[in-house]
Amino acid sequence: MTVNQKVAVVTGSSSGIGLETSLTLARNGFHTYATMRNLEKSTNIKEVANKEGLPLYPIELDVNDDVSVKNAIDKIILATTESEERRIDVLVNNAGYALFGAFEDLSMSELKAQFETNFFGIVRVTQAVLPVMRKQRSGIIVNISSIAGRIGFPITSAYISTKFALEGLSESIAYELEPFGIKVVIIEPGVIKTNFMKRIVIAKNALNANSSYSKLLEKFQSVLDSMFQKGTPAEEVAKVILHAVTTTNLNPRYTVGEDAASLIDMKKKMSDGEFHKLMLENILK
């Protein structure tokens, strides 16, 4: 099929990487369904799509809700029948957030909520899309992981655990889906200039000034704030995703940003002990 006949679904499209990816895919001919939990946040993407005449359609989808996911995917599939066979060619699993707090300060309910969105949300949407891709015997699933899916950092153990889990899931299902012509791609951004920091959830116990880890949390947030000011634009992630879903020579993983590439390279070259010492000196100094 030509690109302008293909259908893409992007979760978490109200801002940041999701928004830029939806716009980039639509600008390159994909019929793009920009999904988000709250359609009231679709004003920005609608204005751009209308101004540029893009084949982009905001649709409500809450990755934490079975019914919401089913209804959204059903609507997308039915919409494609107006001009072509029912199909979904690209799924970009982007929706997620970060929970901050030292491990000891995290409650079980906060940990479960983090996994519900960042991991089980991806499971829920992917399982809803797979029957369509399997029937058409083609498709690309793009899972937005992070450099945090390969490297641990303090204060973010909950978030990082979801990304490590996502990496393992992605690698495993890639083998299962290969016979059906379905590819799985992992995108690993470094620090990206988005509203990520504004959407961070701080664990309730971590907000307690008497927490044994309060100074560590404050220091880590300060380091991250500085890094985000010099972060890679979200458009760069969108460009990598576009390349991944259009190339004939697909790689299983793509890092985005010089910081991500540099950290991965150092981790490969150093022993675990050397890398641990490096992280202590640079992040917690």
Helix axes of 16-27 and 234-246: crossing angle, nearest 10 degrees: 50
**Residue 282 has what pLDDT?**
77
Q: Say how far apart CA 201 and CA 246 lie, in whole Å.
A: 35
Number of C-beta neighbours around residue 41 at 10 A: 14
**Which residues lie closer than 8 Å to 103 by C-beta, 6 or more apart?**
157, 158
**pLDDT 10s digits, 198-219:** 789 999 999 999 999 999 999 8
The pTM of the full predicted model, rounded to 2 decimals, is 0.94
- 159 in active site: yes
Q: Quick one: 256 exposed, middle or buried, by C-beta within 10 A (0-12, 13-18, 19+)?
A: buried
CB 10 within 8 A of CB 22: yes
- CATH superfamily of this structure's domain 3-283: NAD(P)-binding Rossmann-like Domain (3.40.50.720)
**Residue 199 has what pLDDT?**
84
**Residue 227 has what pLDDT?**
81
**pLDDT 10s digits, 254-264:** 999 999 999 99
Helix axes of 43-52 and 16-27: crossing angle, nearest 10 degrees: 20
pLDDT at 101 over 60: yes
Strand partners, 59: 35
**Residue 185 has what pLDDT?**
98
**Residue 196 has what pLDDT?**
72
Nearest to 239 by CA among 14, 20, 9, 15: 20
Strand partners, 93: 143
What average pLDDT score do residues 71-81 get?
85
**Residue 36 has what pLDDT?**
97
- Among the listed ranges 85-99, 125-139, 173-187, 221-235, which one has the minimum average pLDDT value? 221-235
pLDDT band at residue 279 under the 50/70/90 scheme: confident
pLDDT band at residue 103 under the 50/70/90 scheme: very high
Q: If DSSP codes are grouped into helix, strand and coil, which group holds residue 133?
A: helix
Q: Say how far apart CA 119 and CA 169 lie, in whole Å.
A: 9
Token readout for 10 is 């992007």
Token readout for 168 is 């393992």
pLDDT at 83 over 80: no
**pLDDT 10s digits, 171-196:** 999 999 999 999 999 999 999 987 77
What average pLDDT score do residues 107-127 get?
98
In the chain, domain spans: 3-283
- Single out the catalytic residue among 57, 159, 213, 254: 159
**Residue 132 has what pLDDT?**
96
What average pLDDT score do residues 105-119 get?
98
**Residue 221 has what pLDDT?**
87
Question: Mean pLDDT score of the chain, rounded to an integer?
Answer: 93
pLDDT band at residue 281 under the 50/70/90 scheme: confident
Token readout for 188 is 């690993």
- Indicate the length of the chain as a whole number: 285
Nearest to 64 by CA among 116, 119, 142: 116
Q: Quick one: 266 exposed, middle or buried, by C-beta within 10 A (0-12, 13-18, 19+)?
A: middle
**Residue 121 has what pLDDT?**
98
Token readout for 234 is 């979200």
**Residue 285 has what pLDDT?**
66
pLDDT band at residue 81 under the 50/70/90 scheme: low
- The pLDDT > 70 percentage for the chain reads 95
